[in-house]
Homo-oligomer: A and B are copies of this chain.
């Protein structure tokens, strides 16, 4: 349950559970999510459970502190996969036999639209105040635009307020600050798995905060249920489990739309989860970084900020960024919305380490206020392209007889490849993943998301048609070869969409 080095943990009991579930490093480089753990099993020291895990990182020859060595260990692990990919990245002209990246959750479909908008003359504006020390919460003009933007697109019942907005250089930083100001060292957030694995590092590297997993599975237990469905009963059970191990849980992290499931919580579900949190005085961090990447409107996505009444507004903190919804993960623009002024202020106090350029703040304000472009150009086209790419991949998968989950949100499809594993183990999952990579297509394996069932993979479809076609061709080659060997795999319970 707590797979990280236990350097700062003050409750030794918190280590115990992880001894039985040693972790493969999660997908902790956004840029090569999933791939990063290529050699995880081989490199990973035993992190928890027995003895002093920090000792694993001790070395007289190192200049680093013990936590520095842990921090570097994360990088090295990622770096290996990173190098594999970047040394042989696909390029249509220069390296057509290079690796196609269907592992990183980026939207590569709209660079043309973005480039045109971001190079318009209104984007190049310099004035002295933009070059001087800012308000670390973000310039007021930007927080005003963010508040208006979120009010409109989240459909908030009342206008959202600039004073509740904090601007940071990405949601990773928002997680880092919130973990630090809400939790003591060694405390934990509940998080349903599978989940975007990088959050593990976001709350741990600076904050020394752990994740307590709410394990979901693919089994469908009734007519109204769906695979990997989160319920209050599962939340209660996970909370009790953590408590019984002496781990203090301070909050719950919800990702909606969910990554990697592409799942969407209904307003009723949201209310239930928030009610659970309120009963236990837990903070809720709602990561809505894919909120405008819902390309099937019929699924009725609702932001938590659209709810008429938040059960515990003082403990509800909402994250959004341009990384996904505007396909600009390299722009480093994220926001926190919270009515809790204590939390907003404490986060702002850390924002000098997470500040973004005044020039970019100006550009983002211009972008967010340009409702015509957003609605008539960008979202319209972006959703159409996402939909087309999704339709293409879905059809391919159906033709291959591969079950998958995808509810019309996000950039990814959650594939059930369990029947292609010769054994129901994560070693076999890794083995299959390596076969994909050897065939020059990068996917993300389920263990990187702490999925408890081996054999699930995340496939990112938000890429240009020619790359997508080639990537799917390579996926097909692996599976058609492999499927002949392992047709006796376990039956699949995943819903088809």
Q: Which residues of A contact B (CB under 8 A)?
A: 8, 29-31, 62-69, 71-72, 74-76, 79, 104, 106, 108, 111, 114-115, 118-119, 123-135, 169-170, 172-173, 176, 180-185, 187, 201-202, 205-206, 250, 283, 314-315, 327-333, 340, 342-343, 345-346, 348-350, 352-360, 363
Contacts and interface: CB of A to CB of B under 8 A. Distances in A.
B126 A115 contact: yes
B68 A180 contact: yes
A182 B63 contact: yes
Contact of A173 (B201, B314, B331, B353): B353
Contact of A357 (B104, B330, B348): B330
Nearest to A137: B75
Contact of A349 (B71, B181, B314, B315): B71
A169 B356 contact: yes
Contacts of A343: 63-64, 68
Given A68-B346, A352-B170, A330 B184 contact: no
Given A315-B63, A346-B72, A131 B111 contact: yes
Contact of A359 (B71, B118, B185): B118
A170 B358 CA distance: 13
Given A71-B180, A329-B131, A356 B356 contact: yes
Nearest to A283: B63
A30 B79 CA distance: 35
A237 to B, nearest CB: 25
A56 to B, nearest CB: 16
Nearest to A281: B63
Contacts of A181: 64-65, 67-68, 71-72
Copies in the complex: 2
Nearest to A124: B124
Contacts of A170: 352-353, 355
Given A72-B345, A184-B67, A205 B350 contact: yes
Contacts of A173: 353
A490 B68 CA distance: 48
A322 to B, nearest CB: 10
Contacts of A356: 169, 332, 356-357
A198 B460 CA distance: 43
A262 to B, nearest CB: 20
Contacts of A345: 72, 75-76, 79
Contacts of A64: 181-182, 342-343, 346
Nearest to A346: B72
Contacts of A65: 180-184, 187, 250
A128 B111 contact: yes
Contacts of A202: 353
Given A64-B346, A68-B180, A357-B360, 7 more contacts: A63-B182, A65-B250, A71-B349, A72-B349, A75-B346, A173-B353, A356-B356
Contact of A63 (B119, B185, B314, B330): B314
Contacts of A118: 124, 126, 359
Contacts of A205: 349-350, 353
Sort A-B residue pairs by CB-CB distance and give the 4 closest, nearest first: A68-B181, A31-B133, A75-B349, A330-B358
Nearest to A33: B133
Contacts of A180: 65, 67-68, 71, 206
A66 B349 contact: no
A319 to B, nearest CB: 14
A328 B63 contact: no
Nearest to A62: B342
A118 B128 CA distance: 12
A31 B351 CA distance: 13
Given A133-B30, A345-B75, A350-B206, A185 B330 contact: no
